[in-house]
A and B are shown apart, each in its own frame.
Chain A
Amino acid sequence: MPPVNPHTHELRDHIVVQDLTLAYGKRVLLENISFAVKRGEVFIIMGGNGCGKSTLLKILIGLKQPASGQVFYNGISFWDADLEARESILQRIGILYQHNALWSSMTIGENVALPLQEYTDLIPKRIAEVVSLKLALVGLSGYESFYPAELSGGMQKRAALARAMALDPEILFFDEPSAGLDPINARLLDDLIIELSLSLKTTVVVITHDLDSIFTIGGHAILLDRQTRSILARGTPHDLLRLSTDPKVISFLNRGRTSREPSPRCADVHGDISDRKDDQP
């Protein structure tokens, strides 16, 4: 893929990452990576543990400075912009953190209301209406007065999503959205991500290694590689699985296909399940 040029990029490119190098001290995680996220698309950043996914997210949302390279939002360089411009960009971004990051001393309603109180001129009644709507959108209607600790993991995740959506962001980042969720709740959240992206025309960036989520959400994806410190593959997960000849890509994506089949070593551990008589009625 040719390098992305932010100055000639299409108007539809919402986020452009150009020659970005991520490092922790002297340890380089990713080197000179470039990619673009189109407006309104669902984009997946996938990769195994330690490949730099979360660090990349930190750079994209302004929590960590890159070693080199640029991140452009609507053609504006985030790291070259002044503080005011950066704040303006950040106000148009919503983030669902891996561990939810709900403020534990505030109720769910207060969590969602805080961005609205800080960044809009809405009167309290209107804020309450918006909070109520956002919570309804994630299936938490009526839970305004509950504290995060009083909710289950899945409900906390959805409450965090309601907070991420509070300001109607142009871009939503999801860091490992299915982390800590059971398969049913994870699937519900994936469906919600797709529905919100379609309905609100929000650009969605999902950072995950969960193959169920990757194949459910679909969309354009990049696969980060720890060894080469680069982007190993680009394309939709289904296309990559079908067309890629790279053994690493196949190995990463194929595990999802076989995850519901027992491991060949399973029989060594449990014996032949059909031999078991005690389970028979």
Chain B
Amino acid sequence: MSTSGEIRYSYPDQGTIMVHVEGAWIMGRDLPNAGEVCEHAASRPGTRRIVFEHTALADWDSTLLTFLTGLQQGCGATGIAVELEGLPPGAVRLLQLARALTDLEVRPDQRLRISFLNRLGLWSIALSGSITAVLAFSGEVSTAALRMVRGRARFRRTDLMALLSECGPQALPIVSLISVLVGIILAFVGVVQLRMFGAQIYIADLVSIAMVREMGALMTAIIMSGRTGASYATQLGTMEVNEEIDALKTLGITPVEFLVLPRIIALVLMMPLLCVYADIVGIVGGALVGVGVFDISPLKYWEQTLDALNLTQFTLGVVKSTVFALLIASAGCFHGMRSDRSASAVGYAATRAVVVGIVLIVVTDGLFAMVTSILRI
């Protein structure tokens, strides 16, 4: 194996330093750096040029080129000429190529330094742009919905069927798992308090009311936000990357009508059904605890559950889930349609869709709680 790259100096005449480049200049070896040569040249008054000789050079790669580039920059600043003729022809050609292409290329603009005020201004502009975009999107969706009501919306029925299947039956396993666990958790948490008063039977009331009024709709919405909202954003973001949305526009088809509307319809139709299903499965989960662990008779549990529930609570849960569906689908589609054209942008769109979706769900649920409290529902 050849020795590590090194340099040796000789002085053919008064103003010239000859650098003998020797050994193997290969990545990973301990190699001289250009600064040392520049310092050496500066320490010899009257040096006008540096020349090279490479008869003992064994092998070389980019490290020799970076060394030479550094030397050209360092010595160029002090007015000492670096003459490359004595180097391997390949290295000389590459350095010339790098210089020629750099000279040809339009230099990129220097990045602007952004002050706090500038940043604030840019943020405000971006915020107003986002608000405008949300309003425009809402307008487009509303227009598309109106066209659909009039039977003039253009989207493929097969797409809608596939989306309905994706949002509905395919989500059943995860909704079942989460709902039964929520029912079980509610029952266990409730029984700790209720047992102190000998009122275990009221587990049925607690679980059924909590599931039907609140948890069924909320948990389904959170699941669907992570599952379907992200999926919508990713699908539409990828279509943006592949210029599929541009292709629709050039065909005169409104992307919101063709892509967004069926997605919103699918989720709005399926979420209430999933919510009802989650309510039932959650109540069954609570019953498993009440009947199985705390020895409440199944018939009594069933009667207690029926007594606790009424149509208003049930309707409230279903209405909530419909509104949540609209919010989740809109957030997913909005961020997907606004995605930039790169893999990371699609990932960002999916994240934004889920985060915004969940925030909207929780805020809206809070509003529902306030309104129902005021209306004493």
Contact = CB atoms under 8 A, between A and B. Distances in A.
B345 A139 contact: no
Contact of A199 (B94, B101, B107, B341): B94
B64 to A, nearest CB: 10
B62 A168 contact: yes
A129 interface: yes
A74 B91 CA distance: 25
A133 B93 contact: no
Nearest to A146: B108
B65 A201 contact: no
B27 A139 contact: no
Contact of B111 (A104, A145, A199): A145
B158 interface: no
Interface string A159-172: 00000000110000
B244 interface: no
Contacts of A140: 105
Nearest to A147: B342
A172 to B, nearest CB: 14
Contact of B102 (A139, A167, A192, A198): A139
Nearest to A148: B342
Interface string B82-125: 00000001110110011101101101100100000000000000
A187 B101 CA distance: 14
Nearest to A195: B97
Given A143-B108, A167-B27, A137 B69 contact: no
A59 interface: no
A130 B62 contact: yes
B101 A137 contact: yes
Nearest to B109: A142
B136 to A, nearest CB: 24
Contacts of B343: 104-105
A117 interface: no
A129 B70 contact: yes
A134 B89 CA distance: 18
Contacts of B341: 149
Nearest to A104: B342
Contacts of A139: 101-102, 104-105
A200 interface: yes
B91 to A, nearest CB: 7
B166 interface: no
Interface string B157-196: 0000000000000000000000000000000000000000
Interface stretch (A26-34, A120-128, A236-244): A120-128
Query: B interface, how many residues as a size bin?
Result: 20 to 34
B79 interface: no
A199 B93 contact: yes
B340 interface: yes
Interface residues of A, number: 33
Contacts of A168: 27, 61-62
A120 B27 contact: yes
A105 to B, nearest CB: 4
A126, A192, A195, A199 pick with most chain B CB within 10 angstroms: A199
A133 B28 contact: no
B101 A136 contact: yes
Nearest to B91: A199
B105 A104 contact: no
A138 interface: yes
Contact of B340 (A120, A121, A149, A199): A149
A9 B184 CA distance: 71
A141 B102 contact: yes
B78 interface: no
Contacts of A196: 94
Interface string A244-270: 000000000000000000000000000
B351 interface: no
B104 A105 contact: no
Contact of B98 (A120, A133, A145, A167): A133
B27 A137 contact: no
B373 interface: no
Contacts of B14: none
B43 interface: no
Contacts of B345: 104, 149
Contacts of B102: 136, 139, 141-142
B27 A122 contact: yes
Contacts of A147: 342
Contacts of B142: none
Given A141-B105, A201-B90, 13 more contacts: A104-B342, A104-B344, A121-B28, A133-B66, A134-B62, A136-B102, A137-B97, A141-B107, A147-B342, A149-B341, A149-B345, A199-B89, A200-B90
10 contacts: A104-B344, A105-B344, A120-B28, A129-B70, A136-B101, A139-B104, A141-B105, A149-B345, A168-B62, A196-B94
Q: Which 7 A-B pairs have the closest CB atoms?
A: A139-B101, A104-B342, A105-B344, A136-B98, A199-B90, A168-B61, A141-B102
